[in-house]
Structure 1
Amino acid sequence: MSPETGRRTSLRSQIVLLAGLVILWCLVWGEVTVLNVVTGILLALVISVLFYLPAIDLSGRVNPWYVVVFFVRLIVDIARASISVAWLVIDPRYKPSSAVIAIPLDTRSDLIMMFTAEAISLVPGSIVVDIDRQESVLYVHVINVRTDTDLEAFRNEVFATEKRLVMAIGSADDVWRVKQPNHLTRSNTGGTA
């Protein structure tokens, strides 16, 4: 990568970061006004100067079809899991069982890893308790698992979520990784903690 390309990529990442902070500021206040946008820009500049924020590597690739697929499937997963967890709460025969599972992801992108963790945590019944950035491993607490088959099924759900995200906004390298045959068979490498 040439120095000029690196500067453009860094500038693009900073602009996206600043825009995200301004949007977050407007969401906190609940409305988009000139005053909120101006103060959001000023606050975002102060935050980015005073605090170290790591650069976000953006792939520059967005596939609208896979973005829609990701969000539709996320909504279905949330609805299905909500019903399942609600049933566990009222089922008098339920005996609590849970596990913390190490799930190695294919992606090396912090952004995809973070979005995957957020998507998993939004679905009732599971929450990410730790992330190993260097190894791209998520540690997830999941309820209602009793057998190795339950563990494998949950891992495969996480891998499918990661794949949908990568197909939507991932880099060409990440797309290549999730399309490899070992993508769905690698679940044997992750253990429980």
Structure 2
Amino acid sequence: MRSRLGRRRDRALAVGWLVVAWNLFWGDFSWANLLGGMLVAAAVVLFFPLPPVTFDGRLRLRGLLVFTVRFVGELIRASLHVARIAVQPGYVPRSAIVAVRLRVPTDLNLALTAEVLSLVPGTLIVETDRQAAVLYVHVLDVHGPADLVAARRQVRVVERRIVAAVGSNAELRQVLSVPVDKELS
């Protein structure tokens, strides 16, 4: 009974967010857009159902604050770096794709880590292997093997911050059990 109510609640939330997105896409909150958004959202939820994503974690305010502050700092630093590359005359940056296996192989962790990495300028998720919990990350401005190690370390650090913000106690123990530097060596 509880799982049925949970599924209905999740579908209702999905429809609600899709209606809001529909209205934002049109740029006008009108009755016609509201009705059209409800029809489109109902069709999307009906014909393209998403697999259930379980959340066994807990929200940790300290971890969320650390994540937010560091994320904003990384956004600023990466934006300045990409801007410098864009305006530097004659400079052609080298790129690479690195594969990183996540330590917490849940769908939610995979999705959150991929989203955060994609939001930071200079990195982009090229592919994911859901079964093996591997992210393939495109990295901009690579000078040598040390930069590849640094890119892998950065993915692991982002995963650690996400788990520290919203992960379960078991997941937190899992990411804290081995230091990031020891995993990569």
The 2-side partners of 1:76 and 1:171 are apart by 25
Q: Deviations over 1:102-160 (max 9, x none)?
A: 01111222222112112111111111100000011110111111222211111111111
**Structure 1 gap segments, 5+ residues each:** 189-193
Contact kept in structure 1, 2:157 and 2:180, CA below 8 Å: no
Q: 1:42 deviation in Å? A: 4.4
Partner of 2:116: 119
Percent of residue pairs identical: 36
CA RMSD, aligned part only?
Answer: 2.6
Distance 1:89 1:22, change over 3 A: same
Partner of 1:147: 144
Q: What is the correspondence of 1:19-38 to structure 2 with a 5 Å cutoff?
A: 19-30=16-27
Contact kept in structure 2, 1:105 and 1:159, CA below 8 Å: yes
Contact kept in structure 1, 2:101 and 2:134, CA below 8 Å: yes
Q: Which amino acid in structure 1 is aligned with residue 139 of structure 2?
A: V
Partner of 1:47: 44
Q: Normalization by structure 1: what TM-score?
A: 0.79
The SS at the match of 1:96 is coil
Partner of 1:191: none
Q: What is the correspondence of 1:172-191 to structure 2 with a 5 Å cutoff?
A: 172-181=169-178, 183-188=180-185
The SS at the match of 1:53 is coil
The 2-side partners of 1:5 and 1:176 are apart by 29
Q: Deviations over 1:72-111 (max 9, x none)?
A: 2222111101111222233347343221100111122222
Partner of 2:84: 87
The SS at the match of 1:185 is helix
Q: In the alignment, does 2:67 pair up with 1:70?
A: yes
Distance 1:96 1:139, change over 3 A: same
Q: In the alignment, does 2:135 pair up with 1:138?
A: yes
Contact kept in structure 2, 1:13 and 1:58, CA below 8 Å: no
Partner of 1:164: 161
The 1-side partners of 2:86 and 2:169 are apart by 43
The SS at the match of 2:124 is strand
The SS at the match of 1:181 is coil
The SS at the match of 1:100 is strand
Contact kept in structure 1, 2:153 and 2:180, CA below 8 Å: no
